[in-house]
């Protein structure tokens, strides 16, 4: 796996999951590598580094999508156990493949077209029908990078020329956004986490809240969708489904095959965190229960502002600050806060208060 905050939180969960973690990190002073039982320095795209990782471990897993699937396929063919498998990982590495596969399986998704070239006739037809579009680079994007909101065909074509292959979709009037996490074991057993509401600003998730602002029937629908996608992809580990709530319908925006920002609240808020359960799943261990431990939980991301943040600011009981130990930079995710409470409105107030006290509250929406 790679360094970064997800690896850091996985390293923190390794003991509880009963696994010994070896982190492949870009730099020896990576915080996750420092915490892991063993470390290797190298790039996840370097065949030699991956081969060494395969030699040293029983299972290889990832905390990001920036992987080389051919390389992983060769590693798997050489006997290294990769979970999720390169076949499943294609789902999250390639947004175009993901969208086409979901639509073909009848999963509700926004109206879209895959464009390989600005003069694609299919793109032409799509842009005739939709003025406001969102163009998404098929690979390499995250946290809103690679996502472009366009007005009119000329702008959309210009972006497609730059980033193709791309998914071009209708710009929807969203009533809300949600996320549904599930964890799937090697033998296909599956447990859902509680559905959460999410808030995004500038393409980045700023807040997630449990319980989701959704009636019970539609929460069941979110779980059913994520279960279907998990089985369809053959994932082992955590799978996160980002959903749009539009005019009473749930549409699948995006799927990630790894622990996800919208599941960070489970560290304090669920009986087994998404990080522990991901490690349990990929290690072939039984999954832990995913039930919530409090009636409400709100997570707010901490983002670098104009001045360095103060992440050691003491918090009130029930509020926890996570410091990713990253160098401060304006706009960079540097940690998160989770507040547990009896009531979601109160949890929200307390989480944002702490984020502001740390000097790292994201832009409010
Ligand atoms: P990333 O992979 O970078 O997270 P997403 O596809 O999730 O990119 O898009 C980021 C955010 O942009 C979404 O959470 C949503 O707020 C907004 N967005 C994306 N696609 C659409 C769309 N078709 N209509 C309206 N808003 C969208």
CATH number at residue 246: 3.30.470.20
How confident is the model at residue 142, as a pLDDT? 65
263 inside domain: yes
CATH number of the CATH domain containing 18? 3.40.50.20
Together in a domain, 165 and 239 = no
Instruction: Kindly indicate the confidence band of residue 103, based on its pLDDT and cuts at 50, 70 and 90.
Output: very high
**Residue nearest (by alpha carbon) to ligand 1 atom 21:** 171
Total number of domains in the chain: 3
- Final residue in a domain of this structure, among 67, 82, 97: 82
Instruction: Cis check for the bond before 188: say yes or no (omega within 30 of 0).
Output: no
Residues 43 and 147 in one domain: no
245 lines ligand 1 (CB under 6 A): no
Q: What is the rounded average pLDDT of the residues 198-221?
A: 94
Last residue of a domain, one of 41, 67, 82: 82
- The CATH number of whichever domain residue 132 belongs to comes to 3.30.1490.20
Residues 256 and 352 both lie in one domain: yes
Closest to 279 measured CA to CA, from 88, 38, 5, 15: 15
Listed in sequence order, the residues at least 6 apart from 8 whose beta carbon sits closer than 8 Å to its beta carbon are 31, 32, 35, 324, 325
Best CA proximity match to 183, nearest among 83, 54, 60: 83
> Using CA positions, which residue lies closest to atom 10 of ligand 1?
203
216 and 290 share a domain?
Answer: yes
User: Considering the entire predicted model, what is its pTM?
Assistant: 0.96
Q: Does 148 share its domain with 184?
A: no
pLDDT-derived band at 345 (thresholds 50, 70, 90) equals very high
> Does residue 177 have its Cβ closer than 6 Å to ligand 1?
yes
Q: Encode pLDDT of 263-298 as tens digits.
A: 999 999 999 999 999 999 999 999 999 999 999 999
* 7, 26 Cβ separation under 8 angstroms: no
242 in a structural domain: yes
Residues 15 and 135 in one domain: no
Domain span at 129: 111-170
């Amino acid at each position: 796996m790679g360094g970064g905050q997800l690896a850091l939180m996985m390293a923190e969960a390794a003991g509880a999951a009963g696994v010994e973690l070896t982190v492949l990190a870009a730099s020896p002073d990576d915080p996750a590598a420092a915490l892991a039982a063993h470390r290797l320095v190298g790039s996840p795209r370097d065949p030699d580094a991956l081969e060494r990782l395969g030699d040293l471990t029983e299972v290889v897993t990832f905390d990001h999508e920036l992987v080389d699937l051919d390389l992983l396929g060769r590693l798997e063919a050489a006997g290294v156990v990769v979970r999720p498998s390169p076949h499943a990982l294609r789902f999250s590495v390639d947004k175009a493949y993901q969208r086409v596969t979901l639509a073909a399986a009848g999963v509700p998704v926004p109206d879209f077209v895959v464009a390989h070239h600005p003069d694609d006739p299919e793109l032409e037809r799509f842009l005739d029908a939709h003025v406001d579009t969102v163009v998404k680079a098929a690979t390499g994007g995250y946290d809103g990078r690679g996502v472009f909101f366009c007005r009119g065909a000329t702008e959309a074509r210009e972006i497609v020329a730059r980033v193709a292959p791309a998914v071009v979709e209708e710009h929807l009037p969203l009533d809300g956004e949600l996320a549904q996490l599930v964890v799937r074991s090697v033998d296909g057993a599956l447990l859902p986490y509680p559905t959460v509401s999410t808030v995004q600003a500038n393409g980045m998730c700023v807040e997630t809240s449990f319980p989701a602002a959704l009636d019970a029937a539609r929460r069941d629908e979110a779980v059913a969708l994520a279960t279907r996608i998990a089985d369809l992809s053959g994932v082992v580990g955590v799978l996160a489904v980002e959903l749009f709530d539009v005019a009473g319908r749930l549409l699948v925006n995006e799927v990630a095959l790894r622990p996800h920002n919208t599941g960070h609240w489970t560290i304090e808020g669920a009986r087994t965190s998404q990080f522990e359960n991901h490690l349990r799943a990929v290690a072939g261990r039984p999954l832990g229960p995913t039930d919530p431990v409090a009636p409400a939980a709100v997570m707010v991301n901490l983002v670098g502002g104009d001045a360095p943040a103060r992440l050691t600011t003491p918090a009130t009981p029930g509020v926890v600050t996570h410091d990713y130990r990253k160098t401060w930079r304006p706009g960079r995710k540097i940690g998160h806060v989770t507040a547990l409470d009896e009531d979601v409105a109160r949890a929200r107030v307390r989480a944002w208060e702490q984020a502001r006290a740390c000097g790292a509250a994201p832009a409010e929406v």
